[in-house]
Amino acid sequence: METVSHDVLVVGSGLAGLRAAIQVAIASQGKLDIAIVSKLLLMRSHSVAAEGGTAAVLYTEEGDSTDLHAYDTIKGSDYLADQNAVETFVTEAPNEILRLEHWGMPWSRRPDGRIAQRPFGGHSFPRATYAGDRVGFYEMHTLYGTLMKYSSVHIYEEYYMTDIVVEGGTCSGIVALNVKTGEMVGISAKSTIIATGGLGRLYGFTTYSHTVTGDGAAACYRAGVPLKDMEFIQFHPTGLVPSGILLSEAVRGEGGILLNKNGERFMQKYAPSKMELAPRDIISRSIVREIQEGRGYEGPNGLDYVLLDFKEIGRQKVMEKLTMMVEIGKSFAGIDPTEAPLPVRPAAHYSMGGVHTDLNGRTVFKGLWAAGEAASVSVHGANRLGSNSTIACLVFGRLAGQDAATYAMNSTVRPSIPRERILESERKLFSGLVGKEGGEDPYLIKNELHETMDRFVYVFRDEKGLTEALKKIRELKGRAKEMRVQDRSREFNSNLIGALETSNLVQLAEVVVNAALLRKESRGAHSRTDYPSRDDVNFLKHSLSYFSGDGPTVEYSPVSITRWTPQERRY
């Protein structure tokens, strides 16, 4: 057991975490001692899997504007986004694109040499700034290279955060497991930023890496921070069957189309003005309806599908701009998409909800911030527009980093982690889990969770299914308290990490389903067949889920509406 101390601690090493750490270094001119804690090697964060684009208004002379980007985002959110947050977001977005450009980001180019942008769903103009179909990979490399310029940054790779420490309303840091040695470590800091990403592995059919297990959101929740709008899970329309691997919206942005088994381009029926470039919630519902009404193809293990056809794009453009899609099609479906369409269906892809924060990433506790997909500011509301995620990581990573740096520079108190708190965490892990005789298998619990979420908490939901899901999840929650870790070793105990991740997922699933049951309307990605209409009178508000021993308690807060009155969404 050991303790270490830094000025600023960033937990998570994806786009938001790296951008926050860089901003702390810039704001303090290298004077603050910064730590980055990641359960992975830094460049293994799920941000590298982002494919299609990063949204920003770059060419106002061509008719686009930040006001229009804001309106598209707010309309896409089904009017649940906080409009003051969206206005800040769209104003800051172009600056982040240009910063990355100056730091060496290899953006794709127009013929005249200017940065290229492609269309994405729900946007009125092409705003998705891209680098082929590997935008997250290149953005991560650019940020990592920039971060290496600062000697004040210390990196703790393969450290798994088990707890956030809050005393007297102030965060003093975290307790983490050094995966390499099995030692528990208390890492204290004046400012702590949670940037641990989403929670997509609640589902079995998902575009997420297996490591995306909501660790930061779960730790914040247990510490007393409310989780906002957790009922809103985005399903990306084009998850490859049967793996769930993401087929980028860039395919449709470049001209790809969706076909049912009758060869019909069915989006004509559902969004005639936008077609395949409607927002993701609308396309996902359209695909599921086609399947439910018998116009889909029968797939393996119930994964029925429609087709994503590349032929309208043309082979040359596909090989220039969508090379990774070709690799994925060949490797994971045995299909060259330049020759035949790929099988797709909606896959869990993004959490619009997360840790409740203000514009600068501040949580309800002093000294604790959150940014990126782990946080909910909220700019995505009930449905995120494609290409608004990576830019949100950059914008709000920067804002959280700036605010956390200012707080740390002005703070004269250097917090510490009580030794007893570290010992308590160690006892839970190595006496309560490791080497336990009998008990539950965490992998079976996770599999049952996946089956439950895929079946009852998918694109369409209803009271009966959500009630059944909540009952099952609470059963799994009880069983998770009795999990066993058969691997008794201290070093690289992946069995232990898997059990901790499963515990977090079950806890978060209860929050998601409970909030979904209480929201008796359809809004954005939360579509209830028993309440098919949006209800602004009763539910134009954010849900805030608080931890209690008996399960989440839910309160509500108003949506910030500055300029755009809620209207019916038509595309």
Is 209 exposed, middle or buried, given 0-12, 13-18 or 19+ CB atoms closer than 10 A? middle
Cα–Cα distance, 504 to 430 (Å, whole number): 18
Contact 455, 202 (CB under 8 A): no
Cα–Cα distance, 518 to 546 (Å, whole number): 14
> Which residues, 6+ apart, have CB-to-CB distance to 512 below 8 Å?
202, 230, 231, 233, 353, 457
Cα–Cα distance, 13 to 193 (Å, whole number): 11
CA-closest candidate to residue 542, choices 392, 356, 279: 356
Q: Give how far Cα 526 sits from Cα of 132, 288, 382, Å.
A: 32, 14, 7
Contact 389, 350 (CB under 8 A): yes
Cβ neighbours, 10 Å, residue 101: 14
Cα–Cα distance, 22 to 239 (Å, whole number): 33
CA-closest candidate to residue 120, choices 65, 63, 59, 51: 51
Cα–Cα distance, 237 to 258 (Å, whole number): 10
Q: Give how far Cα 296 sits from Cα of 340, 458, 463, 533, Å.
A: 17, 17, 26, 26
Q: Of residues 201, 252, 356, 450, which has the active-site annotation?
A: 252
Which amino acid belongs to residue 435? G
Cα–Cα distance, 403 to 440 (Å, whole number): 43
- Residue 252 among the catalytic residues: yes
User: Distance between terminal CA atoms of the chain?
Assistant: 57
Q: Of residues 236, 345, 421, 528, which has the active-site annotation?
A: 236
User: DSSP labels for 34-91?
Assistant: EEEEESS-GGGSGGGG--S-EE----GGGT--HHHHHHHHHHHTTT-S-HHHHHHHHH
Contact 322, 363 (CB under 8 A): no
Is 29 exposed, middle or buried, given 0-12, 13-18 or 19+ CB atoms closer than 10 A? exposed
Residues marked active site are found at: 236, 252
